[in-house]
């Protein structure tokens, strides 16, 4: 009887703690969201679409380079909480140490290569590319080490409150440093990016939940690779999707088109903050729940309320944004009027993307082949629709988010089919 009461009490405390955590994440996400939107709009006001497009083209290159991490962070994000669920803290720490070694070594190598490129462009006096390549190196370090290693530790240790605080700090710094853009244009945007990345790394490092020293253990690396590589390969079908879309935009329309499309990117990125927060909270909890019971229904229940709440919140953003955006852009960002419709449709993409949180199911129960089928279906539908739109309607920025909506519908249709099967298999 006492054990039953104790278990009930612990469960209620955990439920209450999770609720408070979600509320804090939502509030902090809203603050970060507002600051991010305002910062992005001010940057767009001070930069021509051509300059913003040039900077975003360097960001595209960074996104491709980060793929070199080979899924080790994905393996850590799954195995670390799984080990904790089995009460193997020593094994979890050793996994973190191996992932630390890999992520740090990879980040430093890529950064050194970027320095070589920077000096090359300095030698031929191509100042914009020299600065841009340096930013690629710094951004890659941020992506491969800060995001793909340090922040994974926060999520797997359920230190979401600290992550939220860090996000707010970074958002404030992002807002404060916009004066560099007003003073130095493209170069100011690069300076701002370096300061933001440095701030993120500093606070993520000093507050890290686990101070695991880098240590190479081949067997553990192989384990992380074996578990993480399928997750990584499948996830990149999804993560490459918007990157490929931006690549198509700049290939067909040039830097100006990419700059105009940046308005839609700002809208999409701001709406993705809440989705990322919910996914970050849900994934380690799902991994631990799966380690305890292997019950699919309990797995789904972890995400139900957060996703529903996120959908309602983002719906309000879509309604308000769709109405206000045209008036705001015409008054405040006259150089970006051509990107209004694409930005409006990007609001709908951000809304429907909240359901992508459910894709964590595939990783937790190790059904990555099914996840691959889901993502490939969405990607193929997007490509077909985009090609058809380009052929019959011509190049127009609005067709890109519209095609993505069709892709999401394809993904969720396949997901629903697989989840129905899993309920029967794991009950």
Segment 125-129 shows an average pLDDT of 91
Q: What is the pLDDT of residue 266?
A: 82
pLDDT in tens, 4-46: 333 333 333 444 445 555 556 656 666 776 777 777 778 888 8
Nearest to 401 by CA among 237, 278, 266: 266
Distance (Å, rounded) from C-alpha 322 to C-alpha 326? 8
Contact call for residues 136 and 64 (beta carbons, < 8 A)? no
pLDDT in tens, 171-189: 889 888 988 988 888 899 9
- Domain-wise residue ranges, the chain: 13-425
- Give the percent of the chain with pLDDT over 90: 25
Q: What is the pLDDT of residue 228?
A: 83
Confidence band for 248, pLDDT divided at 50, 70 and 90 = very high
Segment 74-87 shows an average pLDDT of 78
Measured CA to CA in angstroms, residue 395 lies from 254, 389, 399 at distances of 12, 8, 8
Burial of 124 (0-12, 13-18, 19+ CB in 10 A): exposed
Encoding tokens for residue 399?
A: 């067709």
Tell me: pLDDT of 313 over 80.
Answer: yes
Rounded to 10°, the helix 160-176/218-293 angle is 110
Q: Look at 287 and 241; give whichever has higher pLDDT.
A: 241
Measured CA to CA in angstroms, residue 37 lies from 27, 34, 354 at distances of 15, 5, 19
Distance (Å, rounded) from C-alpha 140 to C-alpha 134? 10
Sign of the C-alpha dihedral, residues 130, 131, 137, 139? Answer: negative
Q: What is the pLDDT of residue 78?
A: 78
Burial of 185 (0-12, 13-18, 19+ CB in 10 A): middle
Distance (Å, rounded) from C-alpha 292 to C-alpha 7? 14
Distance (Å, rounded) from C-alpha 193 to C-alpha 353? 26
Mean pLDDT of the chain: 83
Tell me: pLDDT of 84 over 90.
Answer: no
Sign of the C-alpha dihedral, residues 386, 391, 392, 393? Answer: positive
DSSP 216: -
The model's pTM is 0.70
Specify the residue for token string 């999770």: 18
Three-state DSSP class for 338? helix
Q: What is the pLDDT of residue 156?
A: 67
Kindly compute the dihedral angle of the four CA atoms of residues 85, 91, 97, 99, in this order, to the nearest 10 degrees: -60
């Amino acid at each position: 009887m006492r054990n039953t009461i104790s278990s009930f009490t612990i469960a209620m405390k955990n439920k209450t703690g999770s609720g408070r955590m979600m509320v804090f994440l939502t509030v902090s996400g809203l603050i970060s969201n507002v600051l991010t939107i305002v910062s992005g709009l001010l940057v767009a006001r001070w930069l021509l679409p051509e300059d913003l497009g040039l900077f975003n083209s360097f960001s595209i290159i960074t996104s491709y380079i980060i793929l070199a991490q080979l899924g080790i962070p994905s393996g850590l994000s799954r195995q670390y909480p799984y080990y904790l669920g089995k009460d193997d803290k020593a094994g979890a720490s050793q996994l973190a140490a191996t992932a630390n070694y890999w992520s740090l070594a990879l980040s430093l190598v890529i950064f050194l290569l970027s320095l070589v490129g920077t000096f090359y462009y300095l030698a031929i006096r191509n100042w914009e590319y020299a600065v841009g390549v340096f930013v690629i190196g710094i951004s890659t370090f941020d992506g491969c080490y800060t995001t793909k290693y340090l922040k994974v530790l926060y999520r797997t240790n359920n230190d979401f409150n600290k992550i939220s605080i860090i996000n707010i700090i970074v958002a404030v710094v992002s807002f404060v440093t916009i004066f560099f853009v007003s003073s130095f244009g493209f170069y100011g945007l690069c300076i701002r990016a370096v300061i933001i990345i440095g701030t993120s790394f500093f606070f993520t490092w000093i507050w890290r939940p686990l101070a695991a020293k880098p240590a190479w253990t081949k067997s553990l690396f192989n384990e992380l690779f074996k578990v993480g590589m399928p997750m990584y390969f499948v996830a990149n079908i999804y993560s490459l999707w918007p990157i490929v879309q931006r690549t198509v935009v700049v290939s067909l329309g040039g830097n100006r088109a990419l700059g105009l499309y940046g308005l839609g990117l700002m809208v999409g990125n701001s709406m993705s903050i809440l989705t990322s927060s919910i996914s970050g909270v849900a994934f380690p909890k799902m991994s631990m729940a799966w380690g305890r019971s292997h019950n699919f229904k309990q797995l789904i229940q972890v995400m139900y309320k957060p996703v529903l709440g996120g959908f309602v919140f983002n719906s309000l953003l879509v309604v308000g944004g769709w109405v206000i955006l045209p008036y705001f852009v015409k008054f405040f960002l006259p150089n970006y009027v051509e990107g209004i419709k694409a930005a409006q449709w990007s609001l709908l993409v951000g809304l429907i993307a909240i359901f992508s949180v459910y894709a964590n199911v595939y990783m937790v129960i190790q059904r990555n082949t099914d996840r691959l089928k889901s993502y490939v279906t969405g990607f193929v539908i997007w490509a077909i629709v985009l090609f058809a739109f380009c052929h019959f309607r011509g190049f127009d920025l609005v067709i890109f988010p519209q095609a993505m909506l069709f892709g999401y519908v394809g993904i969720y249709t396949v997901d629903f089919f697989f989840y129905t099967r899993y309920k029967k298999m794991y009950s």
